[in-house]
Amino acid sequence: MSMSFHYPGGVEEGLEDKEKAFPDINVGFLLVQDFTLMPVAGFVESLRFAADRSFRSKQLYCRWHWIGEGKQKVTASCGMDIMPQYDLENPRQYDYIAVAGGLLDAATSPSQQVIDFLKDAYRQGVPIIGLCSGSFVLAEAGLLDNRKCAVHFTVWEYFKQRYPNVRAIVDSGHVRDGNVITCPGGTAIDLAAELITTHCGRSRALKGLDYLLVSQLTAEPEEEEVPDDPFLGTARYESRLLERAIMLMQENIGTPYSIKSLSEQINTTERQLTRLFSTFLHTSPANFWRKLRLEHGRNLLLNTTKTVTEIAYETGFSDTSHFSQWYKKSYGETPIEFRKRRTSLDA
């Protein structure tokens, strides 16, 4: 078996530089303050590995730029700073514009300059990608009206209330509707691989996946695609019944009903559903549903100014006391204590 190695300054690299004057794909990353780093890193690293034949990160087949208002510094939610290289102008120079969101305060209040730039890009036919809560930015710009979009289940209820004209989907790694693509989180690597395959060929995409230790290209996503979920660890849903039950739970975070009624909706018995949850998730359906509601409540405490009472009712608890009791049991502190602690940390 023969192996080919690529050394810095080799003959192949010189030939590559000469043969590729323009990239096959050029992405402009518009970073919103407090953006989530992981989707951006996964996306840009996929581009970087696919960008040349060797491993010197030369932007030959793929190119990317950091863009922002006045080239002002943008800070990720983890504290890392990025200085944009280009201002918000000439969107047609990019094949895609990827809007990276994070904490909801910033994602729900984009500047008029950002909104105007995105609308201009859309009018000129440039595909726009919403990474993480970048979907909120696109919705604020009106680009998701009467469209489908992928959102993380923890913000699904809030998104649906804020943007009633958008069809928010929680069970897909990414959703393309017309010239708008939304991707709720870590599946940005899969999305990047799909776009690289389209523009540069499958071998370019596989090069990145191999070095990122991602086993294979995900199948083209549809609404039925099984999502990764933080409550499932690294496993995929093992049963279509289980998947459908969890989808209904996510869609009814604010209005939970009996497990018997849930079982009837998916044409199974309460006993069978309980067995599936016990076998694959090591918990009961009721406990899992409650965990989803509490996680949504925690997200609202962190990212909105809603009162604890409002959040309690929005997450399907009968009253504030009931919500606070279960919250403390799950997280070791009351909702008020959690909000006060996070506020003091952010001060």
Return the pLDDT at 11: 37
CATH superfamily of domain region 19-211: Class I glutamine amidotransferase (GATase) domain (3.40.50.880)
146, 120 Cβ separation under 8 angstroms? no
Least confident of 114-128, 254-268, 305-319: 254-268
- At 203, which amino acid appears? S
What is residue 216's predicted lDDT score, i.e. its pLDDT? 53
pLDDT in tens, 235-262: 344 467 888 888 888 888 888 889 998 9
List the domain boundaries for the chain: 19-211, 229-347
**How are beta strands 167-169 and 180-183 bridged, if at all?**
unpaired
Confidence of residue 57 (pLDDT cuts 50, 70, 90): confident
Domains 19-211 and 229-347 share a fold: no
Indicate the CATH number for domain 229-347: 1.10.10.60
Q: Which of 11-20, 232-241, 277-286 has the lowest mean pLDDT?
A: 11-20
Query: What residues form DSSP beta bridges with 65?
Result: 28
Banded model confidence at residue 113, pLDDT cuts 50, 70, 90: very high
CA of 11: how far to CAs of 16, 49, 53, 54, 321, in Å? Answer: 9, 19, 12, 11, 71
Confidence of residue 223 (pLDDT cuts 50, 70, 90): very low
| Residue of 336, 328, 333, 332 lying closest to 309 (CA atoms) | 336
pLDDT in tens, 131-144: 999 999 999 999 99
Classify each residue of 164-199 as buried b or exposed e, where b means 16 or more C-beta atoms within 10 Å of its C-beta: eebebbbbbbbbbbeebbbbbbebbbbbbbbbbbeb
- Backbone φ and ψ for 219, nearest 5 degrees, come out as -60, 155
Q: Name the average pLDDT for the chain.
A: 84
Residue 304 carries which DSSP code? -
Sign of the four-CA dihedral 203, 208, 211, 215 = negative
